[in-house]
Amino acid sequence: MKKRISPAIKEVISHSKKGALLLGHRYLDTQHLLLSILRKSDSFAVKVFTSLGVDIRDIIKAIDENISHNEMTTTPSEINELPLNQYAYKALKIMPLEAGVLKNEEVCLEHLVLAILRSTESTAAKILHDLNVDYDRYKGELVYIYNEIQKDSEDDDEGMRGGTFEEGNTQRRDPETPISNHFGRDITKSVKDRLYPTIERDAEIRLIAQMLCKKEKNNVLIIGEPGVGKRAIIEEFAYQIQHNSMYSIHYNRIIELDWGKLMTNAKYRGTLEKRIQEILNEIANFPKTIILLNHMHVASQFTGKGLLISDILKPSLEYGEFKFIGITTPDKYHLIAEDHTMDSYFRKIFIQPLSLKQTIRVLENIKPKYEEFHNVTYEKSAIEACVKLTHLQGSILPGKAVDLLDEIAIQVRMDEVSTPQELIELRQKIQNIQDKKIQAVKMQKYEAAADFRDEEVGLTHELELKELLWEETFNSIPLTIKKQDVEKAFQSIKKFRQP
């Protein structure tokens, strides 16, 4: 899903181009972008610099000393044609990714600053580095300010509610669980705004909820082949919890433990046990929290220090202090079953693959998000072909059918849309100039080599801009995917797919 670009970003790019042309430059650099950002003194991006103790005037002065001034007349039409150098192009391209990492819906100036700092070889990044501002330091301060603003907002909300949650209020304050947030992920928060609920799994979700509500042996172990939708079932359960269904009476949060983070740098004896115990102590204050153990068989494997993770969890399982949901596959279940004590704490639920009709209904339900992402339209016959071809190959439904739905869109787009001849010729021209430059250096004709180098730089900038425009055009052409398109594309990728 594409991020919204804030008006401030568009304004900064426009001002940067004008500034570059006024300086007599024939391309847009990260210096121009940074200078335009700093001019917006009331922006959040500038406030982060101030919070770091950096004087904005020092940055502007450093840019002014570094930037060159050329006497050159310009026309308004040149502003829109001004190419980007490789660092400015990269910064503008990855700034939506920076917004995504921070889980921001809108791309703002602070994300552009992060994108500039990520390219450490860019001029602007070097200037900021000299002033003791790098990517990690800026991002750390940005996240800290975000958290402080969120905390202040939550405190204000708490005061308005008189210290209690209003009955029926869907906006719940997140539990203060910093340790669990670091060593795990909040599933209920990640699915909060999901648009397409999981279908065909209501019975399984209801059974999971019933098992968790039992007085004894109230932990659940979900067993199913890869691709049957185990994760989707948990996400739908979390979604229903978050939206005040009948399940929200008993639960309000699902925390998934991250095995990788738990074991990273746990090189000293007792570190792993301490981390898990701290998580359990923290979650104990929130009795409506469910702990998710994805790939639960990992808990039954040695950590390399003579103990099992399952041994650390057994006391909590034995006394029923917490609600656990485990997920594993049939071929890994034996690792859990070998430990009869651990196995006895969980009620097993076996998830079966969906039928052809059920899978078709699932794909009909989720196809809008793939249509939006790939800018395509799937005909009903194409959906049915995806399911039937996947089933004939012996793959697990619905997982492989969903994968094929995604792959087919890319395959059809690549077949229907070809690279413009203009780009092919421009790439070949750059290659020829590079060969001439190398030959000139070998013959010690350095002036000619410098001319070839300058020509290469100019053409490279032109190529990058044209490729950016082509990339936008490539994805903007709407396509309709029919049954014959699916069958044709499936034959070409079938030999690379495993059942």
* Boundaries of every domain in the chain: 4-146, 178-350, 356-417+478-496, 421-476
The CA distance from 235 to 241, in Å, is: 10
CATH of domain 178-350: 3.40.50.300
Report pLDDT for 459: 84
pLDDT at 72: 45
Total Cβ atoms within 10 A of residue 185? 17
Question: Is the separation of the CB atoms in 227 and 239 below 8 Å?
Answer: no
> What does DSSP say about strands 323-328 and 346-350: parallel, antiparallel, or unpaired?
unpaired
pLDDT of residue 495: 60
Distance set, CA 481 to CA 105, 118, 379, 484 (Å)? 30, 39, 6, 8
Closest listed residue to residue 338, CA positions, set 368, 380, 310, 377: 310
SS3 220: strand
Residue 280, CB half-sphere, CA atoms under 13 Å: how many? 17
Q: What integer pLDDT is reported at residue 457 of this predicted model?
A: 82
DSSP letters, 27-55, are: SB-HHHHHHHHHH-TTSHHHHHHHHTT--
In angstroms, the CA 138 to CA 110 distance is 9
Separation CA 101–CA 121 (nearest Å):
22
The pLDDT assigned to 161 comes to 40
- pLDDT for the residue numbered 306: 57
Which CATH class name applies to 356-417+478-496?
mainly alpha
Structural fold of domain 4-146: Double Clp-N motif (1.10.1780)
Do the Cβ atoms of 327 and 293 come closer than 8 Å?
Answer: yes
499 residues of the chain, pLDDT tens digit each: 467 888 889 888 888 888 888 777 878 889 989 988 988 888 888 888 888 888 888 888 888 888 765 544 444 445 556 788 888 888 888 888 888 888 888 889 999 999 999 888 888 999 998 888 888 888 888 887 877 776 655 554 444 344 433 333 333 344 467 777 788 888 888 787 666 678 888 889 889 988 888 877 789 999 999 989 899 999 888 888 877 667 777 888 899 988 888 877 766 667 777 888 888 888 888 888 899 999 888 887 655 555 678 888 888 888 777 889 999 999 999 888 888 888 898 999 999 999 999 999 999 988 888 888 888 899 999 999 999 988 888 888 898 888 888 888 888 887 777 777 888 888 899 999 989 888 888 888 888 888 888 888 888 877 877 777 776 666 667 888 888 888 887 877 666 555 4
Nearest to 101 by CA among 89, 86, 115: 115
| Contact by Cβ (8 Å): 40, 12 | yes
Number of CB atoms found within 10 A of residue 276's CB = 19
The span from the CA of 398 to the CA of 140, in Å, is: 41
Query: Residue 77's closest CA among 17, 28, 7?
Result: 17
SS3 state at 276: helix
State the chain's maximal CA–CA distance in angstroms: 86
DSSP symbols for 371-439 = HHHHTEEE-HHHHHHHHHHHHHTTPPTTHHHHHHHHHHHHHHHHHHS---HHHHHHHHHHHHHHHHHHH
Neighbours of 37 (CB within 10 A): 26
What is the rounded CA–CA span in Å between residue 293 and residue 290?
A: 10
3-state helix, strand, coil in the chain (%, to 5): 60, 10, 30
Please name which of 273, 207, 271 lies closest in space to residue 237, comparing C-alpha atoms: 207
Cβ-contact 294, 230 below 8 angstroms: no
Which residues are CB-neighbours of 281 under 8 A, at least 6 positions away? Answer: none
Beta bridge partners of 186: 255
* pLDDT value for 213: 84
Is residue 133 a contact partner of residue 126, using CB atoms and an 8 Å limit?
Answer: no
Beta pairing, strands 4-5 & 253-257: unpaired
Is residue 30 classed exposed, middle or buried when 0-12, 13-18 and 19+ CB atoms within 10 A define those classes? buried
The predicted structure's pLDDT at residue 292: 92
Report residue 233 as tokens: 């079932």
DSSP SS3 for 291 = strand
